[in-house]
Amino acid sequence: MATHAGGLTATRTVLVRGLRRGFGARTVLDGLDLEIGAGEFTALLGRSGSGKSTLLRALAGLDRDVAGSGLVDVPERSSVVFQDARLLPWQRVLDNVVLGLTGPDAQERGRAALAEVGLAGRERAWPNELSGGEQQRVALARALVSEPDLLLADEPFGALDALTRLRMHELLRELCTRHRPAVLLVTHDVDEAVTLADRVLLIDDGRLTVDIAIDLPAPRSHRQPRFLAYREQLLRALGVDQKED
């Protein structure tokens, strides 16, 4: 079933071998293997309950309480963007961005990161004063300010409205082109996956069932025939029947 990914680069950023995770009697990840190359933008699709978040949490090292086995090798410098922006409400925006950042130029780097996500001038604002989209942009700035080799994003735009989501897609593409981290973007939105990723994985029953490279030129559009072809292929793999027009 699995087709081989095209754009696997020579340097490998993530290596997962035989990953098993379970909650009680239920097996969520069943001997999963995965490699992600440096700078590769990978989207992970799956129905709810398919284990996509469990995989991301395993890569992020946030599942110490979960039973399981397997090899997980991720770079020391990796960042997580959660579905909720997860800003500390008692810290101002800039302090949220530089949280955990060390070095004398931390503040400067924080300001630069905020400017990059279009929030220059909002350094002193409280997270509560920002809109949902702005909060998620702060979260992106916080994730990228440490120049990570791997960016793990767990449905980061799931809680945003459609228009804001489109803007965030653009921003994320831009930031990733500039910083070149390897990305694992967990999503349930096929369009989002095809729009953003170099490679799309599909997880089902704790295993990767589809692994395809998305070979589309830069400004991707829903109207491109090949975009639609990828979309259809992934929807079919997800078990969604599409009506013939």
Q: How many CA atoms lie within 13 A of 120 on its CB side?
A: 6
**Piece of 47-55, 85-93, 191-199, 215-223 that binds other proteins (CB under 8 A):** 85-93
Under rule CB under 8 A, residue 99 binds other proteins: yes
Under rule CB under 8 A, residue 75 binds other proteins: no
Under rule CB under 8 A, residue 106 binds other proteins: no
Under rule CB under 8 A, residue 38 binds other proteins: no
Measured from the CB atom, is 128 or 242 closer to other proteins?
Answer: 128
Under rule CB under 8 A, residue 61 binds other proteins: yes
Measured from the CB atom, is 47 or 86 closer to other proteins?
Answer: 86
Measured from the CB atom, is 38 or 106 closer to other proteins?
Answer: 106
Under rule CB under 8 A, residue 59 binds other proteins: no
Site for other proteins in 120-139 (CB under 8 A): 126-128
For residue 152, the minimal CB distance to other proteins (Å) is 8
Which residues bind to other proteins, rule: CB under 8 A?
60-62, 79-80, 82, 84, 86, 88-91, 95, 99-100, 126-128, 142
